[in-house]
Structure 1
Amino acid sequence: MAILFKTPISENSAFKFIEEALSGTHQYDGYLNIASDAGEKALSWGPAMHAEEFKAEISEILRQTWDAARFWVVYERRDDRRDPETTDIRNAAFRLTRGYAGVIVVTLSLLGKRDSANDLELVFVCFEQDFHRRNFRVRYEGKAISDDS
């Protein structure tokens, strides 16, 4: 399946979406994944974990990511547009950025326990250098990227 990096949103919009989701009345299962040259780390929203605790952990991880790689491109993934799966977008972003130093790819999924109407799925592609971010956007945004690219 071809990946299309086509739905960038601002960091502020991403944080607002996260805040609204975790402050609202909807019940979610949450997953956060961080992939970098240092390896991969996953965090899931455990059954006994309160929304504020999960939000605090997400905030801390995103703060650490910001400290390491300040130049972000955030993509929102949605079913209604028939976007590829979050994991596929993450894997493509990680593969395509191997030539850039210090890239961190973070995925956040907040999936509704009752239905998918309020799901939130975000992919943060974080760069140490702004020119790497700009180069990534020029090379890949709005263009279909095949699995073997």
Structure 2
Amino acid sequence: MLSNVNSSYSLINYGTTTDSILKKKTHKYDMVFYDNLYISEYEPYLIDLAEYFDNDDIDKFDQDILNRMGRHNNRLVGFPAKVSYSVLFSNKILLDRYNKSVPKTWDELILTSKEILNEEKKLNNTNLIAYNGLVNEIQLILHFQILQVKKQ
């Protein structure tokens, strides 16, 4: 098992470490847990699990989730170990103050946040954070680069 206990651990190096292990084609690991954000990069190195599991077992999973999280290039390369739910908390007081609705898209979130932050700065309220998803700058840049590649 490769973990933060027996290796240097960093969220920034997560993808590099997993990528390196997979490219070595080592048989040292029987199972790999990976963030499905990287499924397109890891898929070529992973076996097609549909060849090893009965359809009855595969059908026990929510197929919509399985298709989005475990399938790539018509291959079943992963089963979800956990499914996280994303939640956006909104400051209803500030949204109401500026006659804004709860953002439903990233673009709306960015625009609404900028407008409220600018207005609040005029009132000398500089202690606001528009959005903090516990994502550091490097992860954010990588995430948007991956999204841009997928759009092309």
TM-score of the two chains, using structure 2 as the length reference: 0.21
- Say which structure is richer in helix: 2
- Say which structure is richer in strand: 1
Higher radius of gyration, 1 or 2: 2
